[in-house]
Amino acid sequence: MSKTAKNTTLKDIAQEAGISAAAVSKVLNNHGGASKATQARVHEIAKRLNYSPNIVAKSLKVNKTKTLGLVVSDSSHSFFGAVIKGAQEEAAQLGYNIILANTNRDKENEKEAINTLIGKRIDGLLLASSRLTQRSDIRYLDSLNIPYVFLIRRSEDKKAPFVGNDNIAGSKAIVDHLIKTGSSRIHFLNMDKASTSSADRLKGYTAALKDNGIKYDPSLVYNTKPDIQEGYTVIRNILESGQRMEALFCGCDILGIGAMEAILEYGLKIPKDVRVCGYDDIEFAAYLRRPLTTMRQPKQSIGVKGIENLVARVEGIDDKQNVVVLKSELVVREST
């Protein structure tokens, strides 16, 4: 039995065209981003399958503002620039505007920012490195009755919508690299314990040690907030305490910058005396006195995929993924 206007969906067209339902929606709504050949094929399939938009769904969208909220934990952090750029460019392609809010890594500020955005009648919400990651926070977010997606830092509820990199695999790859290139005693300067990203990177660190037959030593693991001065202070204190350090994995590049300054100021050489790795591959990582080996997160892609996922929820597209995990890339530089 052939499909009719009554039951043909975007997913049906997408399946035949070999593209995503979101891409089909872009073409049918004249939002660009597809080749002329793809556009022609989508329109041909839609016509052949007698597709027509769901009238009820369209009527529900009349009150939409075509505006999305993007809440960022610290917009001054260089990591977020590419994420914001990717989100803004993709939103524009899909016909949406973005209102950006900064929380300065404070949970109450984040709630206040969200409530302000709700007052502006946003259609959906992106939460970049959110502090609202506990299960009780999910109940609060659900009570807002608008779609939301976590970026970069996942919720404790693993079913909550999320787009980011695989922190466990990325961290494990970094530590594997240090071990396979000659280090067995590896200090880990991680982010604060409240962060789910921090917890996942610790899992990757311990998994790499276990796989390589190295016993986990909790005395080599430290937690602090992601801040250059914090990285400097913690590592300076470790060195002055007389601890031997041969390799250091930092949970983010910002900590790595401060840590390397402390190591060099103490009179040690990188990488001859201490080998150092970071995580994120922020813009400055390649331009330090000792260019930093790090795990490159697909920052702009996280922003793009986050918007795609959120807009799919706003528009009721039925093939959206709840969890999108993107690959990161090990970038080896002079610090190791």
- Which domains are present in the chain? 10-59 (1.10.260.40), 64-165+299-327 (3.40.50.2300), 167-296 (3.40.50.2300)
**Per-residue pLDDT reduced to its tens digit, 151-209:** 999 999 988 999 999 999 999 999 999 999 999 999 999 999 989 999 999 999 999 99
Report DSSP letters for 16-32, one per residue: HHTS-HHHHHHHHTT--
Q: Worst-scoring range by mean pLDDT, 7-11, 275-279, 319-323?
A: 7-11
What burial class does residue 36 get, using C-beta atoms within 10 Å of its C-beta: 0-12 exposed, 13-18 middle, 19+ buried? exposed
What are the distances in angstroms from CA 98 to CA 50, 124, 313?
34, 10, 16
The mean pLDDT of 3-8, rounded to a whole number, is 52
pTM of the model: 0.80
Residues 6+ apart with CB under 8 A from 64: 123, 314
The interaxial angle of helices 299-314 and 21-28, nearest 10 deg, is 70
Instruction: For residue 10, give the nearest of 93, 57, 20, 90 by alpha carbon.
Output: 20
Decide if 27 contacts 64 (C-beta within 8 A): no
